[in-house]
A and B are shown apart, each in its own frame.
Chain A
Amino acid sequence: MNYNERLSGNEAIAFAMKQIDPDVMAAFPITPSTEIPQYFAQYVADGEVNTEFVPVESEHSSMSACIGAEAAGARAVTATSSCGLALMYEMMYVAASSRLPITLACVNRALTGPININNDHSDSMGIRDAGWIQIYAENNQEAYDNFLQAMPIGEHPDVRLPVMICQDGFITSHALENITLLDTESVKQFVGEYNPENYLLKKENPLAIGPYDLGCHYMEHKVQQAEAMKHAKARILEVAAEFEKVTGRKYGLFEEYQMEDADLALVLIGSSAGTAKAAVDRLRKEGVKAGLIKLRVFRPFPAEELAQALKHVKALAILDKAESFSAHGGPLFSEVRAALYDLEPRPRTVGYVYGLGGRDVTPAHFRAIYARLADIAAGGDLGPVYTHMGQRE
């Protein structure tokens, strides 16, 4: 049964965790983390969950504690943000390569230098090669829904990978909005129990986890890990289909908004996609064939599916809320543009880096991009492919 509430994105994630009632939550419950461990700790203190809450001294330790718990056969979760995620970096690779399906709630915030805690995607984009599945949300509803889908995806025997559920810091994490929740019984039924085939504390089949992997096997393990990430794509779609049966809410690898006949399109991630939809609606009323793709799943990267969805587009802008200092564009730009390479003809494509450190992004910004795309589609000069948007000159 679905019912209506109003919750911030942080409250929504903490509530999803409460409904799931995981075995272990290890978290560093102060800044740079979020209110998520704080709310969840309250559920623990009030006896509303059976979870063992481990208040560690740093994020390196929270991820280590999750690795230990998950390896022992428990279901472990954590939550962090910004430089907290950066401090986990070393252990994120250990979690993924040990094939431990930990779930991490990431509230996307800028990385320091200069000090800033507002929204952008530099934290999770910086860790994109660690081997974690990454799923992004536009709003509190999607953050909640994605969190409920994380364990059925990551724990599946064909996948066995950790999952990061991302939402935009402050913009959705601290904003109160309407949300439709699923009753706890249905959540428990949907998420199911975690029953790993092998684990550290299984006495019939003792297991070593995390030993030194010599050159003779390391590459084989990495190939298996890469195969698991490939399998994740199909599993994500299966779980989305099951989720739709329970909630009526439909999810895919990405959302196509007004894309069917779009000549001009954007590809972007997160809350700003909602803001861009308002610009699309306005342009459609004016007769402009504008559309957008909001990427939900960044890892695994849906390259073939994106190429298929974008093949009819004349001019395309790809927007990164992270600066990767490649001097050529952000990570989303590089990967989407590469995905289009085999198309003939292919859309003319430009990239923007935007919204860094919480810089506000309005419908007017997107209208300006669509205006540039209209020029490009009409045969105009492509201009520089790597620019920034929203900064003061």
Chain B
Amino acid sequence: MKDNGLIEFRWHGRGGQGAKTACLLLADAAFAAGKFVQGFPEYGPERMGAPITAYNRISDARCSVHCNIDDPDYVVVVDETLLDSVDVTHGLQPDGAVIINTAKGPEEIREKLRDWTGRVCTIDARKVSEETLGRYFPNSPMLAAAVKVSGVLEKDQFMGDMEESFHHKFASKPQVVAGNMAALAMAWEEVQAG
């Protein structure tokens, strides 16, 4: 366990998929649960489809460290095509887990991971998103999967805080709140632990 109950997340996604948004929503939800949070993307050239990285620190006391996260407890991969080009489990803590957006099961997708022998979790965020939102927005399903696998927040509190957060975020289009809540609930049930 790191100091002050610190749990660190690293997000790998592609520009436009909402990995940064999911990272900031996780920070929001953890803040609402009374935690100290950091949520920040690593800025580079901003273009659709380019690999991006974002980070969360969640702890019981303010964390003064301000650098990228090299030894995360959890890694969330929003786009499985990144597995071909990015060493996503680099530095991942042995008792942590990698959570991948894929239609494949944990054992099948494990073949794509280089030296990682720890936990692999999968969620078909495309299926969840298309069934609940009618379009492909992987960030809400990935967020729910990350929270469930890590156990960083209690389910009921998380769902309640997210509903409030969505009402705020989608103030101009409240019709999408229910779909996003359904996406969280479905992903919570469907995430597979390997």
* Residues of A bordering B, CB below 8 Å: 6, 117-118, 138-139, 168, 170-172, 174-178, 271-272, 274-275, 277-278, 281, 358, 360-363
Contacts and interface: CB of A to CB of B under 8 A. Distances in A.
A9 B41 CA distance: 14
Interface string B61-82: 0101111101000000000000
Nearest to B64: A274
Interface string B153-182: 000000000000000000000000000000
B65 A178 contact: no
B28 A175 contact: no
Interface of B: 3, 24, 27-28, 31, 36-41, 43, 62, 64-68, 70
Among the interface residues B3, B24, B40, B68, which one has the most CB atoms of the partner chain A within 10 A?
B40
A117 B46 CA distance: 12
Contacts of A117: 43
Given A170-B40, A176-B40, A6 B66 contact: no
For the complex of A and B, list the 8 residue pairs with the smallest distance between their C-beta atoms, beginning with the closest: A274-B64, A175-B40, A176-B39, A271-B66, A6-B31, A176-B27, A362-B67, A277-B64
B43 A274 contact: no
B43 A170 contact: yes
Contact of A172 (B27, B65, B66): B66
Contact of B62 (A171, A178, A271, A363): A178
B43 A362 contact: no
Contacts of B65: 274-275, 278, 363
A118 B41 CA distance: 12
30 contacts: A117-B43, A138-B66, A139-B66, A168-B66, A170-B40, A171-B40, A174-B41, A175-B38, A175-B39, A175-B40, A175-B66, A176-B24, A176-B27, A176-B28, A176-B39, A176-B40, A177-B36, A177-B39, A177-B62, A178-B31, A178-B36, A178-B37, A178-B62, A274-B64, A274-B66, A275-B66, A278-B64, A281-B3, A358-B43, A362-B70
Among the interface residues B38, B41, B62, which one has the most CB atoms of the partner chain A within 10 A?
B38
Given A176-B27, A176-B37, A118 B64 contact: no
Contacts of B3: 281
Contacts of A362: 67-68, 70
A170 B20 CA distance: 13
B64 A177 contact: no
A385 B64 CA distance: 28
Given A175-B38, A176-B39, 7 more contacts: A174-B40, A174-B41, A175-B66, A178-B62, A272-B66, A274-B66, A278-B65
